[in-house]
Amino acid sequence: MWFGRSEEVFAATLNDNFGEAGSRDGELARLHPGSGDWRTGWLASSLGELFVRGPDWVFKPPRWLLDGEGRRHELRFEQKNLLPTGRAMRMAASVDGRRVAFGWLGFSQGTPRLTAHADALDLWQVNPNQKLWSARPTIGTPPKLPDPAADFAESAKEFRLVADALVPGHVTAAVAVNRDGSRVAVIEYGIWGWLRNGPAIGKWDPPIHVLNFLPKQRGRLRVFDGSGKELLSESLPEEG
């Protein structure tokens, strides 16, 4: 991912400092939505946001801020100006740029390879950067997943199609913030984390160890005021 001035992209020599690989926790910002048959019922991964922007800044987790002049600033714990360092599924800023909402994908239990994330939503203040409030998820356990080993019996002999653990969790799949951050709306779903603890084939051990499946279900719409008080919590009218 590139994070710098546009002039640097077209420079004669590219500055490698402006390029950065995806973070290890990027697997917590991927969703496989669908239902039913594995061959036809499930979509390819959808990815969470990489950046969030205000009127005169752009933030890229875990630590980079680009100001209105195109200057990069590294957010550091020592300077007490950090924003969330984890990879959020959804990020949205108020129009005035003073509030930023972070919607999370998380699990009800942690494992050696998986960090539990308890909150569904955080709201932060920008300049000075500080967390204002958070909200826990309210969505229930999602519908069961079909059995891939039953559908792909031949492939299952060579490829690990059975999870080492199926962990229930939650995802904030959409987030919106009004002009001044006095209202925040989210849509929550339940998910299953399909966890792999060892190599996938032989010694091949890809960096993604959890696949997040979003079975078709009725999500939940929630609306909060600027102090974190929940104003509305309703199931969506149809599965989706």
Cα four-point dihedral sign 190, 51, 16, 7: positive
Determine contact, residues 187/221, Cβ cutoff 8 Å: yes
Classified as helix, coil or strand, 23 is coil
Low pLDDT (below 50) residues in the chain: none
- 16 contacts: CB under 8 Å, gap ≥ 6: none
Per-residue pLDDT, 24:
77
Q: What is the pTM of this model?
A: 0.91
- pLDDT tens-digit series, residues 71-115: 888 998 888 889 998 899 999 999 999 999 999 999 877 666 676
Question: Residue 126: which of 62, 180, 87, 78 has the closest Cα?
Answer: 180
DSSP-based three-state secondary structure for 183:
strand
